[in-house]
Amino acid sequence: MNENTTVVSRCDATSCRFNSDRTCTAGQIEVSMTAQKAECLTFTPRSDAQGTQPSAQQ
């Protein structure tokens, strides 16, 4: 891994199609920072999902 690589250790977006038992299975993710919140731009809801995308605070 290089210095710009981070591993997602836990994903609380249980309604995301890339979430498998709180583990992110996406090949890579894109995150945006707005004010003091991080937002996963890779979030894609599962077809059977009900809920919203959580955001993380710094």
Task: Give CA–CA dist 50/38, Å, rounded.
Answer: 21
**Predicted model pTM:** 0.65
Burial group, residue 29, by CB count within 10 angstroms (0-12, 13-18, 19+): middle
Q: What is the pLDDT of residues 18-40, one digit of tens each?
A: 999 999 999 889 999 988 888 89
CB burial of residue 2 (10 Å; 0-12, 13-18, 19+): exposed
List, edge to edge, every strand of the sheet that includes 37-40.
Answer: 31-34, 37-40, 56-57
Can you give the pLDDT at residue 57?
A: 44
Domain edges within the chain: 8-46
Q: Are 31 and 39 in contact (CB under 8 A)?
A: yes
